Structure 1
């Protein structure tokens, strides 16, 4: 090799090596940024083994394709009031699911929130402040509730964000309970829970300040059971059986078990039990368990089965019960989460098992139903045809796939209605305190407003009157008793029932002792 004078070969080698190293460094840096970037959008980050986008958005980012139309409308509505000093309400629910039926329900809940926002801003006689809506995804089963709840706390503390209430809260789990405790007790943020029904996530006489500032709009599991009991007064305890999921850390299951065991007091057989997977949307191998359970049910005197379980397991149970060898008719009674079966594609081939000849009736307590306040007869105290019609008209106006639509909507499975009522209740509390020179109430003022939402100040929800007691719970809320209709493949309305065994009076008076 011929040496270059003055060490130029050495310098050339060093320079060449440095260039290669620098080039590789840039390559690996770019690759690392691309593969490990945790940002999805402003306020939204990838978390967990599935790299799920979780966080808070104003509609700029949609968490799932099904949510894109309604998120677009929310973003447009938020932008239109940005310079009008709006109060902010957040909808906190999981936004992504691998279960198509559950994803459908999440979409319906966001649609209900938007329709409530639109009504508040355009059909409320100019009441102020206008309402801005944030969308908070805490992840599947609220796994990442803590960082998302902290984002909401920051928005509540911000003089420009002015978050004044968190709504939604749709699944009764331990993670949900922690999120509510953090928002209310730790951060002083008012919360209006929507489809949440567990009895042990509420304020009560025994724990009046467990969740300060928590209001609920759905009847609890025990209220649902009381309404079901009044509807099925001819059911004999000796002809009942409870089939229950004994999985831990699920507040819905725990309190539904307790409620159904109370209804079945005097049943000759102990409950048939099973344990669902940690993720209740997993199929697991429970079909085998239910297959083995059915012969014991057939050999019993049971005619009514109280099923305390989540929708996937209810579907699996009904399929196996439909294949039974005995020719007995069964009525299977469950809680409000049974509404998911109406949108569960895996149940579509099983509706035939619910015909009269097949001998199975599925009945449950719905959180709301369109037929509750329809018809031409005298209006029953406890609800308002006008309030329901306002929502129904909005759903017709926006429930399409046009450029200004929010996607196809349905009111039949209650999720849209109950979330609409949750946001409407939050708006009522916020606006009740914006009088005189007060344009933006404090968090405490909003939380204290729940104490006045009864009697003449009740919320005329689309799903029935919302009359909050001193603990923020809906008093004697209307319960729509429904059954699954194999002809229409939907929930058919039976009648209204009441936790107190009677409809409320015209003033929605809250009586002592129930």
Structure 2
């Protein structure tokens, strides 16, 4: 027998109308939802000026609001917030902007430490400059992220080129910290747009201007070139016997740091009887790759020679692998000294470095860009009388201490032994100097192209007495005879050994009137 209730509820005309209406409504809602998802772009914004590119989870671009956005990087949260608080004190229309262009979202532990140090040092100088004798214009600091390995450099650079007018009044870009092809491209575009660029830790000879090759008009640097580093190391190690030295270098193309360091070392080892020992790192130099296995084999070749000194031209990841391999070498009775460039500064905080290798007759020294002990007198060491200033370093330390505490700070854990905060502070000081010198009386900001024109005049009484040493620029924006601290890796804190000089010695006092003479006295 049919169920009468079922008939009444489910098969009445009213029920059919209701059912049809509900089904049509659901179909319409589903259609609208699908169409909206297809036609409405996904919101990939992270903050004003910052977004996630298609296919990437990184937030890249320029944090145009200047309000302390940290690009999703917890290790940068405190210093980014401190920069935001300082920016908030500035009156719109009364400041010039300096941007820090860096791979802020790098996953490399060494680079992450380096980036934080750069932000801390630059902020210390921004804070100090904005309170120095009421000088103007005030300085606003913005963060620009080029992404891991600087892959998204063009996104950030295109934004920066559009920020030279109001309200941002961008007048200089600093940061510029790695000698790689993406960074070279970024510097090229910025300088062609008339924007002054101050490199912090770029050292490649090919990423610099020179006689007859001003490829980056408006670029200045605070760090010596790899060629100058190599000459300083050669002067420091004058007793190195080239007949008992060999070169180990990377063959990966497109790395201007490695290539120029290799060339500089090669010229020093012209009398070496040994062919260079080669390895090839991965496309991403921060990747472990297979080079650890290669270095295990290379140690056998090193043991087969009569070499006592090994010049290493490569990035820090491969340098660490090489040191670890040498620590486990078969010829432990042999003593070796490894000399390399400033990438050695990363290893002080590298948890994968086998520090016991440094107890096996292996000495590792590198040409640092700065070190906290370079200008501080102590028992057995008296800093050079010229080429730098203990007072300038002490002022930097005082400022850093002030910004690290509330209410200005905190700014996160500060490490000075790798030199990053020191050099970034000096680069910011150079940018501020150029901006203010280029500002006409009565104006609030300088003309854009006038800022870069200040670089040839950074010498003599207009030199920058940086915390890392005197910065005297040649007519092409390169520091000359810049102090080069030689630092030795240890089981704990990297140890300052001695000061070295590209010209063989610090500037000779009274040799000329510019205070930056290329002296050949010994420190």
TM-score using structure 1 length: 0.92
Among 500, 503, 507, which residue is 2:503 paired with? 500
1:413-454 CA-partner distances (Å, limit 9, x unpaired)? 111111111111000000112342233111111011112111
Partner SS state of residue 283, structure 2:
coil
Deviation at 1:32, TM superposition (A): 7.6
Q: What does residue 168 of structure 1 align with?
A: 175
- Give, in whole Å, the separation in 2 of the partners of 1:140 and 1:306: 29
- Give, in whole Å, the separation in 1 of the partners of 2:97 and 2:390: 28
Deviation at 1:505, TM superposition (A): 3.4
Once the two structures are superposed, the pairs formed by residues 178-217 of structure 1 within 5 Å of their partners are 178-185=185-192, 187-208=193-214, 210-217=215-222
Deviation at 1:198, TM superposition (A): 0.5
Is 1:454 aligned with 2:463? no
Once the two structures are superposed, the pairs formed by residues 99-498 of structure 1 within 5 Å of their partners are 99-122=108-131, 124-156=132-164, 158-185=165-192, 187-208=193-214, 210-326=215-331, 327-347=333-353, 350-355=354-359, 358-375=360-377, 377=382, 379-399=384-404, 404-486=409-491, 489-498=492-501
Asked if structure 2 preserves the Cα contact closer than 8 Å seen for 1:400 and 1:409, the reply is no
1:116-166 CA-partner distances (Å, limit 9, x unpaired)? 1111112x211111100000001112111111101111111x222100000
**Aligned in 2, Cα 1:293/1:378: closer, same or farther, shift over 3 Å?**
closer
1:165-199 CA-partner distances (Å, limit 9, x unpaired)? 000100100111100000001x1111001000000
Deviation at 1:13, TM superposition (A): 5.8
Structure 2: stretches of 5+ with no match in the other structure: 1-9
Deviates more, 1:22-31 or 1:139-148: 22-31
Q: What does residue 88 of structure 2 align with?
A: 79
**Aligned in 2, Cα 1:35/1:107: closer, same or farther, shift over 3 Å?**
farther
Aligned pair count reads 499
Asked if structure 2 preserves the Cα contact closer than 8 Å seen for 1:398 and 1:407, the reply is no
Partner SS state of residue 474, structure 2:
coil
Asked if structure 2 preserves the Cα contact closer than 8 Å seen for 1:401 and 1:407, the reply is no
Deviation at 1:35, TM superposition (A): 10
Q: What does residue 90 of structure 1 align with?
A: 99
Deviates more, 1:323-332 or 1:496-505: 496-505
Q: What does residue 5 of structure 2 align with?
A: none
Partner SS state of residue 52, structure 2:
strand
**Aligned in 2, Cα 1:33/1:85: closer, same or farther, shift over 3 Å?**
farther
Deviation at 1:106, TM superposition (A): 1.0
1:5-56 CA-partner distances (Å, limit 9, x unpaired)? 9xx957x566433421343346557878999431111110112644211011
- Give, in whole Å, the separation in 2 of the partners of 1:302 and 1:442: 56
- Give, in whole Å, the separation in 1 of the partners of 2:35 and 2:427: 47
- Give, in whole Å, the separation in 2 of the partners of 1:22 and 1:427: 61
- Give, in whole Å, the separation in 1 of the partners of 2:103 and 2:279: 26
Deviation at 1:384, TM superposition (A): 1.2
- Give, in whole Å, the separation in 1 of the partners of 2:123 and 2:40: 34
Partner SS state of residue 288, structure 2:
coil
**Aligned in 2, Cα 1:354/1:439: closer, same or farther, shift over 3 Å?**
same
**Aligned in 2, Cα 1:89/1:29: closer, same or farther, shift over 3 Å?**
farther
Asked if structure 2 preserves the Cα contact closer than 8 Å seen for 1:469 and 1:510, the reply is no
Is 1:39 aligned with 2:42? no
Larger Rg: 2
Partner SS state of residue 203, structure 1:
coil
CA-atom RMSD in angstroms: 2.3
Asked if structure 1 preserves the Cα contact closer than 8 Å seen for 2:384 and 2:506, the reply is no
Structure 1: stretches of 5+ with no match in the other structure: none
Partner SS state of residue 330, structure 2:
coil
- Give, in whole Å, the separation in 1 of the partners of 2:347 and 2:188: 31
Asked if structure 1 preserves the Cα contact closer than 8 Å seen for 2:97 and 2:171, the reply is yes
- Give, in whole Å, the separation in 2 of the partners of 1:425 and 1:49: 38
